[in-house]
Structure 1
Amino acid sequence: MADICLVSMPTLGRAKSPIVPHWMLWLSGYIEQQGYQVDVVDVKSSINDEFSEREKERVFREAIEQAVGSRSPLVGLSGFTEDYRELVKLAREIKKKSDAKIIVGGIHATVSPEDFFLKEDSPFDVAVVGDGEVPLTNLIEAQKDGTHSLEEISGLIFRKGKDIVHTAPQSVVPDLENMPLHPYHKLDMNFYLQPQQFLVRPIYLSGVHIFTARGCPYGCSFCANSGKKVRFRPLDSVIGELRYLKETYNIDGFYIHDDTFTIKSDRVIDFCEKLMALNYRFLWGMEGRVNQFPDSVFRVLKKSGCIQIDFGVESGSQESLNRMKKGITVKDTETVFSRCRAEKIRTYANMLINTPDETEEDVRKTVALMEKIKATVYGICVTTPYPGTEIYDRYVRPPLSVDEYQLYSNNKTYTSIVDPRFRLAAHALSIEELSERLGKRFMLSRTWQIMSLQPLYLRALFRSKRRVQYLSMFVFRLLRRVSTLFQKCLRSLPGSGNVSSKIL
């Protein structure tokens, strides 16, 4: 019997996601390093199958059965704000069938932990605020020896009778220098290493997301993870993880998912040099800030196999960037995209509409910048205020009830305004029509980028031990994409709504 069972959120979207649940790996690796045993429950569903209520129920029930079957005295759950209702449902079902204490963590438990204890009959026993490694280890120790009270453990919130108790904030965080190798063997790596489009978007690549650091020191008003000290893993540890993944699972590439990988230029250069010394010829991508790319970094990135950099461009209006507290300039964006084109490094530009107090002129400037920078791929999203962000506190009045958190699970959240309180823009343009027209102009025209027929990419595919998987996945998705586009064309109707042609 394990000391704790960690359960991945059993929604159908998560069950189909090819992105490794790193929170489970961080926590289980650390806890087992302290001498305790961890079970993980991570139910998966075929990526290629259609969504159905029957499959949704199967995934949910199987997760419950596995969690209860582990017979662990502690069960750990984690989720985002949009998972709130499902988290409560999952916790209640596990409680009905076991005596396990339910612990909840993740971003929502960190920014709004009291939400889990609003009712006296809450199925949750404890919420963890912040990093989970140390509090969970202390909870296991308290469960085993029975002498420590919850009040003595930092970083917790729990209900005691009619009161909600907050313990002291965490003063000790896990030392990333001594973190063990992720226990990837606990997951179904055959599922996660299928060629996917979520590593280097949107080309197909078999690999994993990795983290070389935690934290982000910047203060973007739309982000709940801002203003935190950056803690770095030793690069030898990161390289060791990549070596293990190649030798054990034959990955073809990876994506660095840090918020701020490029914050230290010397560290980026050191990483690239160590990566080249492996001689694995990985294809890889990363996130980057537009103002953190000196010439010395560019020279080594391409040489080490970096084929794409994803940037949070957000807007072409300096006024809008300032309101969002991005800490970058439009000129920074223009410069870095020009350099990427010169170095033949692919670019992904994330753009936002419905930004705080956005005007029609801000939209015009954004469209003009998108035309100018000529990103390889664009992501266009409607800015949505989430709990824990500055824009939520400013705009969402009254605040959402816990029952209204379900709004965030609406598939239209990224393309429309799903609640009047989510409208941040000052102009009267239809956000839905603006999103649709920008998508047609900058995204559909680049659909064929998924083919990515560059020699470097093709050589990597031919070398891969998964080349048959690549071919079958590519053909399947291409046929599905063509079918979808054809159906959309048939359904489309003329008319431009109230989005001015002068803007688009």
Structure 2
Amino acid sequence: MKVALVVPGGKKEMEGMNQVARPPLGVCYLKSYLEHNGHEAKVFHQVDESDSELVDKITKYDPQLAGFSTMSCVYDEGSDLAKRLKDYNPSVKTVFGGEHVTGSFAEDQKYEPGFFEKSCGREGIDYFIPFEGEKPLLNLVSGLEAKANEKDIKGILFKNKGKWEYTGQVPRIDNLDELPAPNRDDLPYDKYCSVDESSDLEYMHTGRGCRFKCSYCATPVSSPGKVVANSAERVLDEIEDRYKNHGRTDFFFADELFTFDPQRVADICKGIEDRGLKGNIQYRIFARVDDVSRGKVDLGMLKDSGCNGLFFGVESMNAETLNRLRKGTTPEMIETAINKTYDAGIPVWASLMVGYPWETESQLKTSMDKYTEISRGKVFHTYSTFITPFPGTDFYHYCRSNDLIGDPNYLRSDCSTPALKTEIPRERLIEMHREFRKGIK
């Protein structure tokens, strides 16, 4: 079967920063998995094309199935594309997956029956796949080819008598080495750029899941259970291939917990040297504040093997807020982690959010001032956005239950505007955020 894998959306201009398109590795894994199992697939990542141009490209490809992977902020754009595609070719089947679909389905199942239909039900969509996509998508493709009963296709939602019916969750993939490497051949690399304009940045996903349960985070929803990861050898094979055969030298490991297994990290660092990659490649990773502050991460080893960036999810310098978010960190840990990483000679990246509904103006100012103080001269770049409750998370349920969602269309803003009712007037909150961003540049 011929399958189009579509990622809607493109460059989003945010106040004070540019969030720019990055390679959608999730659909690249889907492409390689389908190809490995005898099907044809092509990725269409909408970076700067108009909707008409994108639909025209997909139509010329003439797929039998079009799969859409969407975040919440571009879900409506994706559903519009699906409808337009069906207007051109009524016989094409469409399936949606990704964070918005998974979160909405989880919200429906855990807290609010009927939520999924309101959040995701749109004209032009035939199927949905929540959670991990490789096996359910292959099941759907094989089932459509065989004209199987939709009830027998595991891992999908389909419309049955006007209601969405779930056929049951497919077990997660425990051994990621079983998956073929992501096929990036269709990606428009010349159009990608990170916040520091490093257009040559190569993203890698070598693990899924997180052992922590931060209340606002979608990862425990989309990848519940234990952390699973590629072996060190498999990671090194992919790095070596991208370097030797594609000229990639600057890597970013987008795993939530790259450092979850110290032995795996040590094996990767040693392998970089053993394979002659040391000095030729560099890389950035996400790391936990508590792990670094407590000395559980060997910063010297990372630095020696080419690590040129650690990204911390700071989120706040207010102890109460950190506790409410279930971060497992303290302001003191944050300061220690930043200092240790800086002293090790590794550039620090960090994220911080504002707009928590329980914080007063005084508390927010204290948090901002403390972060500005400890980060000055030590943090290379700070991403600062407004806290956003995503469906399926405990934080979303808390906000819904307490009538704290102030903007009904907040999911379209991609964290760039206040979503919640807070102790601080909206315009004052925006002003404080703007001034904070000026102070940390």
Shorter-chain TM-score range: 0.7 to 0.9
Partner of 1:212: 206
Corresponding residue number in structure 2 for 1:22: 25
Specify which of 243, 248, 264 is matched with residue 246 of structure 1. Answer: 243
Q: Indicate conservation of the 8 Å contact 1:7/1:63, yes or no.
A: no
1:242 Cα deviation from its structure 2 partner: 1.0
Distance 1:76 1:213, change over 3 A: same
For residue 155 of structure 1, report the CA deviation from its aligned partner.
Answer: 2.1
Is the CA contact 2:283–2:307 (under 8 Å) kept in the aligned structure 1? yes
What is the DSSP-based 3-state SS (H/G/I as helix, E as strand, rest coil) of the residue aligned with 2:291? coil
Q: What secondary structure is seen at the aligned counterpart in 2 of 1:316?
A: coil
Match for residue 252 of structure 2 among 255, 264, 281: 255
Query: Tell me, which stretches of 5 or more residues in structure 1 are unaligned?
Result: 46-57, 444-504
Secondary structure (helix, strand or coil) at the match of 2:4 reads strand
Please give the root-mean-square deviation of Cα atoms over the aligned residues, in Å: 2.7
- State how far apart, in whole Å, the 2-side matches of 1:75 and 1:69 are: 13
- When Rg is computed on C-alpha atoms for both structures, the one with the higher figure is 1
User: Aligned to 1:408, which of 403, 408, 411?
Assistant: 411
TM-score (norm 2): 0.86
Superposition pairs of residues 351-370 of structure 1, within 5 angstroms: 351-359=352-360, 360-361=362-363, 363-370=365-372
Counterparts in 2 of 1:12 and 1:328: CA distance versus 1, 3 Å: closer
The alignment status of 1:65 with 2:67, answered yes or no, reads no
Corresponding residue for residue 310 of structure 1: 311
Partner amino acid, structure 1, of 2:268: F
Secondary structure class of the residue paired with 2:185: helix
Q: How does 1:103-502 map to 2 (within 5 A)?
A: 103-113=95-105, 117=117, 122-146=123-147, 148-173=148-173, 175-192=175-192, 196-198=193-195, 202=196, 204=198, 206-226=200-220, 228=224, 229-280=226-277, 281=279, 282-293=281-292, 294=295, 297-359=298-360, 360-361=362-363, 363-374=365-376, 375-396=379-400, 406-410=409-413, 413-414=415-416, 416-417=417-418, 419=419, 422-423=420-421, 425-427=422-424, 430-443=428-441
Distance in 2 between residues matched to 1:8 and 1:23, nearest whole Å: 10
Post-superposition shift, 1:376?
2.6
| Gap regions ≥5 residues in structure 2 | 14-18, 106-113
Kept in 2: contact 1:268–1:297 (CA 8 A): no
1:32 and 2:45 correspond: no
Determine the C-alpha separation between the residues in 2 that align with 1:127 and 1:391.
24
Q: CA deviation at 1:428?
A: 5.3
- 1:366 CA drift (Å): 4.2
Corresponding residue number in structure 2 for 1:51:
none
Separation of aligned partners in 1, 2:38 and 2:368: 53
Distance 1:358 1:254, change over 3 A: same
Cα offset for 1:396? 3.3
Relative to 1, partners in 2 of residues 1:175 and 1:65: Cα closer, same or farther, differing over 3 Å? farther
1:203 Cα deviation after fit: 5.9
Residue 85 of structure 2 aligns with which residue? 94
**Partner SS for 1:171:** coil
Q: SS of the residue aligned with 2:289?
A: coil
Task: Pick which of 324-333 and 425-434 moved more.
Answer: 425-434
Q: Distance in 2 between matches of 1:63 and 1:24?
A: 17
Distance, in Å, in 2 between the alignment partners of 1:212 and 1:405 is 36
Hey, what's the Cα distance between the residues in 2 that align with 1:405 and 1:251? 42
Measure, in 2, the Cα distance between the counterparts of 1:369 and 1:164: 46
Shift of 1:283: 2.2
Q: TM-score, normalised by structure 1?
A: 0.76
Distance 1:174 1:341 in 2: 35
Letter in 2 for 1:28: K
AA partner of residue 204 (structure 1): S
Match of residue 492 from structure 1: none
Distance 1:266 1:123, change over 3 A: same
- SS of aligned partner of 1:184: coil
Aligned pair count? 414
Is the contact made by 2:284 and 2:310 (CA closer than 8 Å) also made in structure 1? yes
1:342 shift after superposition: 1.4
Shift of 1:261: 0.8
Q: CA deviation at 1:171?
A: 2.6
Contact 2:254 2:286 in 1 (8 A): yes
The one-letter code sitting in structure 2 at the alignment partner of 1:101 is: K
Q: 1:62 to 1:115 in 2, by over 3 A?
A: farther
Alignment identity in percent? 23
1:223 aligns to what SS in structure 2? Answer: coil
Tell me, in whole angstroms, the C-alpha distance in 2 between the residues paired with 1:205 and 1:277: 28
1:94 CA drift (Å): 0.8
Greater relative contact order (Cα < 8 A, sep 6+): 2
State the one-letter code of the partner of 1:184.
R
User: Which amino acid is the alignment partner of residue 214 of structure 1?
Assistant: R
- SS of corresponding position for 1:186: coil
How far apart, CA to CA, are the structure 2 residues paired with 1:246 and 1:441?
38
Which secondary structure does the structure 1 equivalent of 2:165 belong to? strand
Q: Any conservation in 1 of the 2:2–2:39 contact (CA below 8 Å)?
A: yes
| Structure 2 partner of 1:495 | none
Q: Report the Cα distance in structure 1 between the residues aligned to 2:115 and 2:65, rounded to whole angstroms.
A: 20
Instruction: Answer yes or no: is the 8 Å Cα contact 2:288–2:313 preserved in 1.
Output: yes
